[in-house]
Structure 1
Amino acid sequence: MHINCPFCGESKRRLYLYPDTEQYHCFHCGAHGNAVSLYARRTGLSYANAYHELEADRMLHFPLPNVPKAPEREPASIEKRDAVYRAMLGLLPLSAEHHQNLLHRGLPERKIRGNSYRTLADGKELRDSIAAQLSARFDLNGIPGFYFRDGSWRLCAYSGLLIPVRDTDGRIQGIQIRRDSAERMKYVWLSGAGRPCGTPARSWVHVTGNRAKTTAVITEGPLKGDAASALSGDTLFLCVPGVSAIKYLPETLKNLHLTAVYEAFDMDKLRNPQVVAARKRLRQMIADCGLPCRTLLWNETCNGIDDYLAAQKIC
């Protein structure tokens, strides 16, 4: 299950609870641990006291069960993923509602077309049709979002706006979905995690804007980066999927010809201790890559850099 994170204050239910192993992990701020550490952090108790208090109330099931974890399937090559995802997007339209939303964010028509946004509607028949058409042309092993059951490949995806996540060469590494329903996490990966022969997505970095530039701006979220890049004259943006999801950033930085990097996380970075810690780790990682990093700040009435640039455009 997933809930709002009590540590970083995000409201998109990105803290996952795993009852089977009594673990938790926030995919926004990176907070993680077990039932004891969660209780300790929420109550201010030491780990030992939190353990004894929970044990006395019989709320623990320790020792933790030793559940063998099946090895994760590795994603297919970038060339294969790019080919399948481009073909999939070619089978889908962009709804008028999603088109209007993209325009409202400041994306011009040429960017909307060039970025290949698409709409995935509800319906099992639609998903089965897409999987059948693609499996007739491609081997879907290793493609996040697809799984094999009852003799057929199937597509596992929420309905919503499909956002291609591209690498330094413009190839589609994976796809994020901006869900139409806001009841749970708004942005999710197209992933086959936990499904038969399914492959999980990775925390790939989205590269958008002029890739020939020698300076880049790092922010959180592919769609935010697309909008901010368009609003700032094709500035090069590197978009991590979360402030702590920076595993693939060094590889991205090394594949570009950069001399400097700017950090542009949302302005709650000035108040949120979890984001402050994530920014510190980010700056160290960038320094390890041999690059200087500066922080971009703007009026706090606009939380995201895309909001700020859109407001400037209106003015």
Structure 2
Amino acid sequence: MEWKEFGIEEVARLCGIQMKNDGIGAREIKALCPFCGDKHYHLYLNTQKNQWNCFRCGARGNDVSLYARINCMTNKEAANELSNCITGTEPKRIQPINSTPMKSLMERHNVYYDMLQMLPLNNTHFNDLIKRGLSMKNIQNFLYKSVPANEYERREIIKKLSAQHDLSGIPGFYRKYGEWKIYEPPYGGYFVPVCNKDGYIQGLQIRLDVDDDRYRWFSTNEYPEGTGVSSWVHVVGDISSDTAYLTEGALKADVTSVLSGGSLLIAIAGVNAVNCLSDTLNQLNVKKVYEMFDMDKQVNHRVKEALIKIKGILNECGIETKTCTWDPWYKGIDDYCLYKKKRHNSSYDRLAA
């Protein structure tokens, strides 16, 4: 049965959901997810598609299902109640934004590579990477660079890039009043390339300088003539290996690979960002995967649920899977590897027995 659309923003307000940027006309609104104890606005409300999706716990649906789930009722009951609550009002319609289809991998790589070559890495970001256990050579090879910090820097980058490349279809860029613009995150940070097995840059993540919302895609899907990203999987290390280590986050994978002497690391952007995982695995010679998500997986039910899905994908690919644990004092595998390196004054070259 089809239900009347009431508008995801209006329904979210009725449900008492706290929204971060709820300006009139916003196409995408960030909010606190009411289902997973979210404190950092992982719930996205798409007012154009009338959909909601939490990137922390994976919950998703439309306006009716949101109201139904919060109030513990069926969709039919929710639709009837919403009809009474919003009688005589038309759902808000957001003007569709003309997005641009994504360019090919090589076209994206060329733009991102040239942009990163133009950018510096400031001392704060350099020191952060050094503290993680990377060397200056590692930092240079991985192409970590600081996000342009002001309007002048952004204009200079756009001027140089647009003279060399067509920026349409490249996530992170959009056109406003006929001029190309670059995505500007709400806080400073540095770029982390997300690469395929051959080292080509599929897209960029931004490691933000704040703790409450650390990572964000370099994406402009909500901007005019902008382009969104896919849930790309990052690959680093010895791609000829038949054993891989699966974790969350490209930076964590880079650090862990370096500290373990070049082990093959595969990183998804989040525990629910698995759409590209099977394709990535099929391109490698992997026979066995050690799952190495953060140690809060032992108590975090949303991670436990996501791991069941991930193991199902690995099984479908015919890959043996083993879950790894370590001293929970060190939340991430990169933290644990750094501890082992400092303790033994050498690379921790055996991630799993």
| Offset of residue 73 of structure 1 | 2.8
SS at 1:97 equivalent: helix
2:156 aligned with 1:121, yes or no?
Answer: no
Structure 1 equivalent of residue 176 of structure 2: 149
Tell me the residue number matched to 1:174: 203
Secondary structure of 1:110's counterpart equals helix
Q: Which residue of 1 aligns with 2:21?
A: none
The offset of 1:199, in angstroms, is 1.0
1:39 & 1:297 partners in 2: Cα distance?
38
Q: Which residue of 1 aligns with 2:3?
A: none
Summarize deviations over 1:41-92 as a string: whole Å, max 9, x none.
4454454555555555x26899867878667532211111111111100111
Assess if the C-alpha contact under 8 Å between 2:132 and 2:255 holds in 1.
Answer: yes
- In the TM superposition, residue 232 of structure 1 has moved relative to its aligned partner by 1.6
Answer with 32-41 or 158-167: which moved more: 32-41
Quote the Cα distance in structure 2 between the aligned partners of 1:62 and 1:285.
44
Q: Distance in 2 between matches of 1:99 and 1:123?
A: 19
Q: 1:3 offset after TM fit, Å?
A: 3.2
Distance 1:303 1:59, change over 3 A: farther
Which amino acid is the alignment partner of residue 192 of structure 1?
T
Residues 35/61 of structure 1: CA separation in 2 closer, same or farther (3 Å cut): farther
State the TM-score, normalized to the length of structure 2: 0.80
Count of residues paired in the alignment: 313
**Distance in 1 of aligned mates of 2:87 and 2:138:** 52
Identity, % of aligned positions: 39
Identify the residue that residue 160 of structure 1 maps to in structure 2. Answer: 189
Deviation at 1:295, TM superposition (A): 1.1
> Where do residues 96-107 of structure 1 align in structure 2 (5 Å cutoff)?
96-107=123-134
- The residue identity in structure 2 corresponding to 1:236 is L
In structure 1, distance between residues paired with 2:134 and 2:50: 43
Using the alignment, how far apart are the partners of 2:177 and 2:327 within structure 1? 54
Alignment partners' CA distance in 1, 2:89 and 2:33 = 24
TM-aligned CA deviation for residue 35 of structure 1: 4.0
Counterpart selection for 1:269 from 270, 280, 297:
297
SS at match of 1:178: strand
Match for residue 237 of structure 1 among 251, 265, 290: 265
Residues 8, 272 of structure 1: 8 Å contact kept: no
The answer for the alignment partner of 1:278 in structure 2 is: 306
Residue aligned with 1:293, SS:
strand
Distance 1:61 1:75, change over 3 A: farther
Unaligned runs of 5+ in 1: none
In 1, distance between residues paired with 2:88 and 2:254? 46
Instruction: Select the structure of larger CA radius of gyration.
Output: 2
SS at 1:136's partner residue? helix
| CA–CA separation in structure 2 for the residues paired with 1:63 and 1:154 | 34
State the shift of 1:24 in Å: 2.0
* Structural RMSD (CA): 2.6
Q: CA deviation at 1:282?
A: 0.9
Paired residue for 2:315? 287
Is 1:76 aligned to 2:103, yes or no? yes
Q: Given the superposition, is the C-alpha separation of residues 148 and 21 from structure 1 closer, same or farther in structure 2, using an over 3 Å criterion?
A: closer
* Alpha-carbon spacing, 1:202–1:271, altered in 2? closer, same or farther (3 Å): same
Measured in 2, the distance between the counterparts of 1:150 and 1:267 equals 47
Whether the 8 Å contact between 2:278 and 2:314 is mirrored in structure 1 is: yes
Question: How far did residue 272 of structure 1 move?
Answer: 2.4
1:296 paired residue number: 324
User: Does the 8 A contact of 1:21 with 1:65 survive in 2?
Assistant: no
1:75 corresponds to which letter in structure 2?
M
Aligned to 2:314, what secondary structure does the other structure show? helix
Structure 2 CA distance for aligned equivalents of residues 102 and 212 of structure 1: 27
